[in-house]
Structure 1
Amino acid sequence: MKFNSIKSRLLLMTLICVLGMSLLVASQHFFTQRLVSLHEQRDLLLRLGQDLLQMRRHEKDFLLRHQIDYFNRFNERADIFNNHLKALVPLFKEFSLPDKRAGELAQGVHDYQKLFQKVVHLQLQIGLNTAHGLQGELASVEAMLSRESAFAYGTQLYQQFVIAQLSIRNFLLTKDAYYQQQFDDAVNQAKMPLSDTSSSAAKALENYRQTFAKLADATTAMGITHQQGLTGDFRRQAHLVEAQLNQLDQDLQPMIELQENQVRTYSISIAGLTSVTLILLLIKSFATFHRAFANFVMFFYRCKRQYQKIDPRQLGFAEFKSLAELANDMVESRRDIERKLATAEARLEESTHVNPTQ
């Protein structure tokens, strides 16, 4: 199809506009969908961060208040975290992101949960309060010793018994090994007057020493400070999970920026290409129209002096070519009429010369 008419040029410009707008809308829709998916992924990461924050909160509440309800809340939040993480994996595959990071995060959370379970199990052994676990056993042994006549108030062993009790309280409060040694010294001092090791007082004192040794070992295993023992391992694992989650967010951010840049680039390219094409087409059409109009003006100007046909090939548009053919036919018809008129006038003049009397 030759676009050599005004109608076809207008149709071509309309098609270019429609095509450009269609491409622009299609690209906007495509990249918007990808951006929506990426932002959904970002929202999932934010939810993961919130879930992890809640897990850390329940962890600290348990370590502070020693209530098993916080352990149950921790497990519930961990299940929610894992579900959100499973929903995140398909999005990673969609955008060709390293899904191994999601696997590392899942493994990190699993280890974090296992370590917290060990912390809870060890705390249950120690005792959630003074009436349970090793603390409860120690309190029972102390009550048994206090009922022994050898440790009654005012006796020789009472002072050592009080020192041992204070050492236990100070150790549980400060977790300082000095008080553990002080307890051992007090118990050893109390054993010396008890010559009969098979007596109930001696057995109770030995049970007292063994129970506290178990409690001290469990407390040490839990961690003298927050950076030591099982508590330290647990907290380091929690920090590792936080770092892995931050790394996922850092991996996602360049993808969002890339998609936004692609949206901007494609939109500007399509709009620019469409605009340039339309401008070039308009310039060419205007030049063709101006040339054709100028030829017609010159044609009518020359027709006042002489008969001259217009060349249709110089007009460009088919509509002007049709007008040029009509104008040439008009010129040719006028020439024929004038030739016939001249012939008639010549004949009339001849007849006048032949019959002068008439």
Structure 2
Amino acid sequence: MLIRQKLMLSAALSIGALVAMFGLQLYSGKTQVELALAAQTVVELERDMLELRKDEKDFLTRSDMAYVQGHAQHAAELKNKLSTISQVFEEYDMPLAPLNRFESLLGQYLTLFSEVVTLQQQIGLTPKSGLYGQLREAVHNVETLLKEHNKPELAVQMLQLRRNEKDFMLRRDASYLEKFQQTLRSFDSTLDGSDLSPDVADEIRRLMTDYQVNFEALFNKEKEFGLGKEDGKMGALRTVIDQAEQATEEIAGIIQTLQSRTRSIVQLMEASQRQGGESAEQAASAGTMLAQINQDVTNIMDMSTQIAAAIEEQSSVAAEVNKNVVVIRDIAEESSHAAMANAKASDDVRERAEYLQSAVSQFRVS
């Protein structure tokens, strides 16, 4: 294979590689965009989780069911975003375990929050609803009877029971249940020793039994709800939230890792593309140089032909000159022989002339 053909093949391969890398670059660019959107969606997941916590806190603080509706709306939005991220994870074959764990934890959280809402409704969203309302009604009925029959000593103990009740509600301390029961026993003892009629005393006992049952029911519901931050449904809710936040961070870490790898691949392809472009340019330049070399060789061959023709012509001229030189030499030799013959003839003539002169001198008259 000629060098020119090799260079042309190299250029073609370089161009093909550039086209392939351009396609890969487009795909990598699409991947980067989708991963960036997924990363943004994860950030929105974290924001939606904060919105859920805000709705939760607002509900617990204000006992307003409107926040439960807002909580459900934010949960629906979060699920949609979770579905979007799941599609990206499946498309790029990323580990689904953190995503599945987050989805499971989200389900647990929503279930726990629903149970918390139900408990709060049973306890009472307002002072007149739920167990709060039942306690209020029972106390009001007892206080009315005590007031009607003018029993201040029982009214004082009733106030102490209300104080134990309110202290428990404010401080959420289980010790107030025991204090409540002690005060109730003291109330019963005072009631037994009072001069109230049996019918009135029995009615008060019935109302106090309802009051006690309702307070113990309230205590049990509050305990199930969670007396401390780490107790009951609220403790479980907090644990699930912490685990969900960890899962969210893990999801974000996976996406960031893939983004980093994709950026590295893109940078490598860009470097390869630049090198391929340089190689193609070098091959094209080498082809141009080779064409110039071919032209120069052709020119040299033409000049060599001309020189050979000139040399051949000079050889012919030299041969003619040599031939003429031989002719001239022969003529010169003939001329030399003729000159020598003439010289010899001159000598003969001179000798004869001298002889004649000598002969003539003999006949001179003296």
Inter-partner Cα distance in structure 1 for 2:149 and 2:240: 49
Q: Given the alignment, which residue of 18, 33, 44 partners 1:36?
A: 33
**Conserved? CA contact 1:151–1:158, under 8 Å:** no
Match of 1:319 in 2: 295
Find the aligned partners of 1:284 and 1:119 in 2 and give their Cα distance. Answer: 80
Match of 1:205 in 2: 208
Correspondence list, 1:10-49, <5 A: 18=15, 22-23=19-20, 25-49=22-46
1:174 to 171, 174, 193: 171
Gaps of at least 5 residues in structure 1 are: 290-315
Q: What is the deviation of 1:143?
A: 1.2
TM-score, normalised with respect to structure 2: 0.78
* Residue 265 of structure 1, CA deviation: 2.3
Matched, 1:111 2:111: no
1:24, 1:349 → 2: CA distance? 79
After TM superposition, give the deviation of residue 200 of structure 1 in Å.
1.8
- Report the more deviating stretch, 112-121 or 40-49: 40-49
- Alpha-carbon displacement from aligned partner over 1:229-284 (angstroms, at most 9, x marks no partner): 11111111111111111111122222111111222223223433554675588689
In the aligned structure 2, how far is the partner of 1:149 from the partner of 1:259?
80
In the TM superposition, residue 97 of structure 1 has moved relative to its aligned partner by 1.1
Aligned partners of 2:245 and 2:116: how far apart in 1? 19
Q: Distance in 2 between matches of 1:149 and 1:111?
A: 49
Q: Equivalents in 2 of 1:149, 1:30: separation in Å? A: 84
The CA deviation at 1:70 is: 1.0
Partner SS state of residue 148, structure 1: helix
Where 2:30 maps in the other structure, the secondary structure is helix
Q: 1:91 aligns with which of 76, 88, 93?
A: 88
Give the Cα–Cα distance (whole angstroms) in 1 for the partners of residues 4 and 233 of structure 2: 86
Q: 1:105-254 alignment to 2 at 5 Å?
A: 105-149=102-146, 154-195=151-192, 196=198, 199-254=202-257
Amino acid at match of 1:163: Q
2:266 counterpart letter in structure 1: V
Relative distance call for 1:192 and 1:259 in structure 2 (3 A) is same
Matched residues in 2 for 1:266 and 1:4: separation?
28
Distance 2:138 2:42 in 1: 52
Aligned pair count reads: 326
CA distance in structure 2 between the partners assigned to 1:186 and 1:151 by the alignment: 22
Matches within 5 A, 1:324-339: 324-339=300-315
Separation (CA, whole Å) in 1 of partners of 2:298 and 2:224: 103
Residue 60 of structure 2 is aligned to residue 63 of structure 1: yes
Q: Name the CA distance, whole Å, in 2 between partners of 1:36 and 1:180.
A: 60
Greater CA deviation, 121-130 or 24-33? 24-33
Query: 1:102 offset after TM fit, Å?
Result: 1.3
In 1, distance between residues paired with 2:2 and 2:311?
Answer: 34
1:339: how far off?
3.9
- Larger relative contact order (C-alpha < 8 A, sep ≥ 6)? 2
Q: CA deviation at 1:336?
A: 3.5
How far did 1:4 drift? 4.1
Match of 1:262 in 2: 265
Q: 2:79 matched to which residue of 1?
A: 82
Q: Tell me how far apart the structure 2 counterparts of residues 324 and 135 of structure 1 sit (CA, whole Å).
A: 114
SS at match of 2:105: helix
Whether contact under 8 Å (1:92, 1:99) holds in the other structure is: yes
Superimposed CA distance per residue, residues 111-147 of structure 1 (whole angstroms, 9 cap, x where no aligned partner) = 0000000001000000012111100111111111121
Amino acid of the structure 1 residue aligned with 2:2: K
Alpha-carbon distance between aligned partners in 1 of 2:233 and 2:307, rounded to the nearest angstrom: 110
